[in-house]
Amino acid sequence: MRSLIVLLIAILIANFTNGDFWKMRESLIEREKNHVLGASIVLSDQEELVNKLLMSYKLQELDEAYQNPANFAPSKYFFHTRAKIENSPVYKLLRLMPKGGALHGHSTALATPDFLHGLTYKDNLYGCRLNGVFQLRFLQNGNQDNTCKWKLIDTLRKMDLNFDEWLRSQFVMFRENFNEIYRNENQIWSIFERTFTTARGLVTHRPVFEEYFYEALRLLYDDNVMYLEFRSTLPQLYELNGTTYKSEDTLQFYQSVIGKFMEGHPKFIGARLIYAPYRNNDNVTFNAISTTLYNIQMRYPTILAGFDLVGHEDSGTSLLKYAWEVKRIAKLGINFYFHAGETIWYQSDTDYNVIDAILLGSKRIGHALGLTKHPVALEMIKERNIPIEVCPISNQVLLYVDDLRNHPASFLIANGFPIVISYDDPSAWNVTGLSYDFYMTFMAIAGRGADLKLLKQLSINSILYSSLSLNERKVALKSWEADWDSFIKNIHLLKF
């Protein structure tokens, strides 16, 4: 036995000496690289120069983090590292990069908290605490609406010198004592949903709504994002005199703002709606939803991308319980873009939403954090080419992933799965555009060797996996390619 062990050691030493081990190791690493998302991209000579610059910034930042891991921004809660990210040469370069489209964003959480706060200086705005949540509404006078004891915001400002700072805080998730109040997903979702409730009455005032949505498009455009697909519950808009509009009438105002923005920004490709009511519905409500979808499809066919359900999945109704109603909606020719598997539970109803989303024919899947726990579902995702909408900062802020180096999308990138990067609810985390989420993906979720090829593939994916028609995607890709070529050509003129 001992002689056999000695013989095996001798063979291993010989193999090491002959270089077999090193060849096998090099071959294995190379084979893994060939599986990575973006591996098929071939960079031009000019792109290689930009890639060299980009990777010098990335590796310097990573090497510093190796020496002092406590300073690695993506491993810390986003609100504490935002300033550090903004000073990163990688982030500054990403800001300039054409990123295609944002395919996952919620309509009443797309502007910045500062912009929302600025809107509160408009005349006739009242505030009131209702059911424990501060709410806003434009009124001709405080007696116009008897659901609450409304007070003018101007009056509240005069009564409390700290009111303005407090009011702004209601639009964003950050709290100084977040470690004490954000103890689990249920608690943080409660605070998260309050930001929507506070903002709703402000941004659904019809004149403000148009101003707000225009600003949301501008923020994307300034971040070199040229297309948007947004989820909306289609809130009822209202006028100062109390006149309200039907949910489907909201589409005319979306369409008007999009058209106006595109006139002033010819490079902007456009925006489309994913109608997304809350997931806690009954059969009667689904009948109304089906009617709304049908009316939208008849009146606004060019702006409707599809259907989704939104809200906290763990405390909401599972997709399985809506399967029959969803199949009825499918008969209208509506595409699905379901949130599914935004959870850390395994084999729960929420976790199985991913499987149900696949079986129900979802064109893309939002978050799908538990997907890597389902090998058969992974095979189906690959076979059907269903992209996952990855929103890194959202997943961290809502406590699903603490350190973004542990994000499950690392597996998806390593295995070449189709993904797109988006920002989810940027106003709640005070984010503008996609660059922050691209930074987190590039620096933490993707590997050390991930380079410009990955970024280029992610940008292309955002167009390929959009709801645009084949011809529209061709036009969009051509426009993006022109912007990309200009970015590559001029990057050497810039300093970071």
Compute φ and ψ for 115, nearest 5 degrees: -65, -45
Residue matched to tokens 């002033």: 264
Alpha-carbon gap, residue 214 to 253, rounded angstroms: 11
Residue type for 484, please?
Answer: W
Q: What is the dihedral of CA 176, 181, 185, 187, to 10 degrees?
A: -120
Residue matched to tokens 């008897």: 146
Q: Which helix (H) or strand (E) holds 337?
A: strand 337-340
Across the beta sheet with 133-138, the strand order is: 133-138, 125-130, 151-152
Token couple for 336: 């699905």
Q: Please work out, in degrees rounded to the nearest 5, the angle formed at the alpha carbon of residue 28 by the alpha carbons of 24 and 29.
A: 120
Residue matched to tokens 């193999």: 15
Alpha-carbon gap, residue 1 to 267, rounded angstroms: 74
Token couple for 324: 């029959």
Alpha-carbon gap, residue 487 to 257, rounded angstroms: 28
Token couple for 303: 């702006």
Q: Which of 342, 374, 389, 407 is catalytic?
A: 342
Q: Which of 104, 339, 367, 374 is catalytic?
A: 367
Contact 330, 336 (CB under 8 A): yes
Residue 211 is a catalytic residue: no
Compute φ and ψ for 430, nearest 5 degrees: 55, 50
> CB atoms < 10 A from the CB of 410, how many?
17
Evaluated on CA atoms 340, 345, 349, 351, the torsion sign reads positive
Residue 312 is a catalytic residue: no
Q: Which helix (H) or strand (E) holds 16?
A: helix 2-18
Token couple for 91: 């982030």
Alpha-carbon gap, residue 401 to 403, rounded angstroms: 6
Alpha-carbon gap, residue 494 to 492, rounded angstroms: 5
**E strands in 206-334:** 227-232, 270-275, 304-307
Alpha-carbon gap, residue 2 to 229, rounded angstroms: 68
Q: Which residues of 170-185 are buried (b: 16+ CB within 10 A; e: fewer)?
A: bbbbbeeebeeebeeb
Q: Please work out, in degrees rounded to the nearest 5, the angle formed at the alpha carbon of residue 434 by the alpha carbons of 430 and 437.
A: 80
Among 242, 244, 231, 319, CA closest to 276 = 231
List residues with catalytic annotation. Answer: 342, 367
